[in-house]
Structure 1
Amino acid sequence: MYLDKFDFKDKEMTFGSVLHVFEQNGFIHAEQWDYERVTFDYKMLDKTDNATYYLRVQAVAVDGDIPKDSTRIRFLTPILGRHYYPHGVEYDEDFKEKIVNKCNEKLEKVYKTFEQEQLV
């Protein structure tokens, strides 16, 4: 599920300037990069249905190589997915309102931090 309530898509920033913002907000980078792409994940556990969800904010390098701090990255639209063992993460589902709301709250917090630090 694409989460397009916030204007992340096509925003460009440096990798070093956004890494700490995501980490402060509970996202993990976990070495998920390949010089051209990066993913910041926020993991959510729902004990009511024993499910694991991931809010993913992905970006691509437009100038430089990830993980150099000076690399300019361009964000893609954030996505929400549910993990199914052993198959992986599925994105094309109907998600519970509480999960979608939690994702929107997280994205709002990240975006406000970007604004406070004058990154957007």
Structure 2
Amino acid sequence: MKFEKYGIEGKEIKFGLLETIMDHHRFVREGQWDYERAMYDMKYEKQSTGEVFYLRIPVYAIQGEIEDRHAIVRMMTPLLGKHYYPHGVEYDEEFPPEIVKDCERRLTGLLETLEK
């Protein structure tokens, strides 16, 4: 599921500042990066079913390399995916309304911070 109406896609920001903002909003990068791309994740686990979902925000470097605090990165469209072990994450699924609503709330808050 794509979250296109939030205005996050296309935002350009220094990587070091983005790291601080994403940490503040509890998105994690973990080991999901290379020198050109990175992925920030928010994990959701539905306790009643054990299903795992990820709100993901991909970014890519347009100037410099990931891990350089002064690099400039462009944010891409946020995605919500469902994790299937051991195959990976699928994005074309039906998602629980309460998780979609929380994703929308978090993206709104993230956008407010990015625009400050």
**TM-score category (smaller protein):** over 0.9
Residue 32 of structure 2 aligns to which amino acid in structure 1? Q
Q: Which residue of 2 aligns with 1:23?
A: 23
Aligned to 2:4: 4
Runs in 1 of length 4+ with deviation above 2 angstroms? none
C-alpha distance in 1, partners of 2:72/2:18? 10
Percent of aligned pairs with the same amino acid: 38
Q: Structure 2 matches for 1:44-63, cutoff 5 A?
A: 44-63=44-63
In structure 1, what is the Cα distance between the partners aligned to 2:24 and 2:9? 21
- TM norm structure 2: 0.95
In structure 2, how many angstroms separate the alpha carbons of the residues matched to 1:31 and 1:109? 25
TM-score, normalised relative to structure 1: 0.92
- After superposition, give the CA deviation of every residue in 1:16-67 in whole Å (9 maximum; x if it has no partner): 1111111111111113211100111000111122111100000111000001
Question: Could you tell me how far apart the structure 2 residues matched to 1:36 and 1:96 are?
Answer: 33
RMSD of the alignment, in Å? 0.9
Distance 2:9 2:68 in 1: 21
Aligned length: 116
CA distance in 2, matches of 1:65, 1:31: 15
Q: Offset of 1:115 from its aligned partner?
A: 2.0
Aligned 8 A contact 1:59 1:75 in 2: yes
